Structure 1
Amino acid sequence: MPKFLIERDIPGAGNFTPEQLLAISKSSCSTLRGIDPEVKWITSFVTADKIFCIYIAPDEEIIRRNAFEGGFPANVITLIRSTIDPNFADA
């Protein structure tokens, strides 16, 4: 199944409390279960004013639907074509 990088513009995200981040996480998981149980949220990276998320999903539309129903943005959705890391260089 395709893997996507989602860029979410959320001003002040880097200042969110652990409780606020937990609430966002729960909302996303709850919404995903209602849309498609095959969609997987892998991880997210919180920066000052954005959250970058990695999802496995059949297509962009299901990610947009999750964002809409969960009440958070999906400003840019990019298909991940491949991944590399330091281990790749050592192969």
Structure 2
Amino acid sequence: MKRFLIEREIPGASSMTAADLRETARTSNAAVDSLGVPYRWITSYVAGDKVYCLHEAEDADAILEHARRGGFPANRVVEVASEFGPHTADAVSA
């Protein structure tokens, strides 16, 4: 599966309570379960009036369908081209 970053514009997102986040997660999980295709929600981050999510799916259409079924905005969906982090500095080339 491919990885996608999703930017969701949600006014007041940073004010969501633990209960709000729990209900949003339940809604997202139900949407994932209803898709009937390989799909995995990795994690999400709340920052200001936006939520940034990392999901795995076969294509962007599955990402958009998840958003539609969950009632979430998906203002921007981009496929992850590569990943790196602090450990990359120590990687051995093959």
1:29 aligns with: 29
2:87 aligns with: 87
2:76 aligns with: 76
Instruction: Tell me the alpha carbon deviations over residues 17-74 of structure 1, each in whole angstroms, 9 at most, x when there is no partner.
Output: 0000111100000011010352000000111100000000000011101101111100
TM-score by structure 2 length?
0.93
| Structure 2 segments unaligned to the other structure (5+ residues) | none
For 1:71 and 1:56, the matched residues in 2 are separated by 19
Letter paired with 1:60? A
TM-score by structure 1 length?
0.96
Larger radius of gyration between Structure 1 and Structure 2: 2
Stretches of 4+ aligned residues off by more than 3 angstroms: none
For 1:71 and 1:62, the matched residues in 2 are separated by 14
Percent identical among aligned pairs is: 40
For 2:26 and 2:76, the matched residues in 1 are separated by 22
For 1:79 and 1:45, the matched residues in 2 are separated by 17
| Structure 1 segments unaligned to the other structure (5+ residues) | none
2:54 aligns with: 54
Root-mean-square deviation (Å) = 0.9
1:5 aligns with: 5
Shift in Å, 1:89: 1.0
